[in-house]
Each structure stands twice: as C-alpha cells, then as structure tokens.
Amino acid sequence: MQTTQLQTSPTVTAYIGLGSNLSDPKRQVSNAAKAISAIPSSNVVALSSLYLSKPMGPQDQDDYINAVIAIETKLSALQLLDALQTIENNAGRVRKDNRWGARILDCDILLYGDETINNERLTVPHYGMKVREFVLLPLAEIAPTLYLPDNSSVSKLASEINSNGILRL
C-alpha cells in the first residue's frame, strides 16, 4: 500500500500597504483589511493604525488614508498578488495610465518574507517603500525590529524619513 504525502508550502510573512483617497477612504482600507483576513491559507498577524497622508502625485486630489497589514500566508507571492488584485477590483478599482492619480483602493505587497522578486508582474521589496513615509511609519509601528532583505532597519529608515505632515489617526 502506497501512501501519498501532502505537499505543504512554507508559511511566509508578507507585509501589504493599503491606501485609498476615494469613496470613504477609511471604510475602503477597513474593508480591504477584512477581505485580506479572508484570503485562504493566510492569517492576519498585525494591522497598523490608519494614517492620513498627502498624495504623492498631483496635489489636486484628496489626502490618502494608509495602513500596513502583516499576514502569514502559504500562498505564493503571485497567488497573493492575484488575491489582492481581486480585492481591489471588488472595491471598484479601475487601473488607469495615471500612475499617481486618485484611487479607490491600492493593495501593494511591500515584502514577501525575505525574498527579492523582480518580474513583469511584481517587484518585492516594493520599489518605493524606503522613501515613502506612508509605508515606513505604519510598517515600523507593527514591525519595529524588521529588517529589509538588503539589511536596512525599518525603524531606522522610519526615524530618518521626512514625515511630510503625515498624521496617525
């Protein structure tokens, strides 16, 4: 009699940046966190406070609500990306050519374990995370001892970044 062994994927801690500045942004970010908690083979381990931040791009748009959520997941990075894009689409996200424009919901994989990923669909660590206060400050709140794959300290980066008037709510 032959037995079949189940293949189990290792659990990885992923950090996801959340942002919105349209259609009740606090509700959008809260709903995204709830939807992320329902992703199969994943568990939420931490959720930052909400932060109010100025837009990165054109200043003729509303301020953003941002947060960072940490999950433990058995999904691959691309499976997680697919799940997050489904959450964005279900919230009404429309992808436009205007990269820095207003949006109903943005869910960005900031870190996926200590992996470095660079393909046509996903770049991890997120390419702009070291220079964005609305990423570093909530990330440092929930993971103060975290180091990036390049050995940068999240707490050190957060303490040195210009806050640009960000407000913790």
Catalytic annotation, pick one of 93, 99, 132, 168: 93
Q: Which domain holds residue 147?
A: 12-164
Q: Whole-angstrom distance between the N-terminal and C-terminal Cα of the chain?
A: 60
pLDDT tens, residue by residue, 23-48? 999 999 999 999 999 999 999 999 99
pLDDT confidence of residue 6: 47
Number of C-alpha atoms within 13 angstroms, CB side, residue 153?
A: 6
Let me know if residue 2 belongs to a domain.
no
Q: Is the pLDDT of residue 5 over 60?
A: no
Catalytic annotation, pick one of 106, 121, 150, 168: 106
Does the model's pTM come out above 0.85?
yes
pLDDT category of residue 103 using cuts at 50, 70 and 90 = confident
Let me know if residue 105 belongs to a domain.
yes
- 103 classed as catalytic: yes
DSSP strand E in 1-154: where? 12-20, 42-47, 51-53, 64-73, 106-112, 117-118, 123-124
- 82 classed as catalytic: no
Give DSSP secondary structure letters for 13-35: EEEEEEEE-SSSHHHHHHHHHHH
pLDDT tens, residue by residue, 128-143? 999 999 999 999 999 9
Q: State the CATH number of the domain containing residue 95.
A: 3.30.70.560
Let me know if residue 4 belongs to a domain.
no
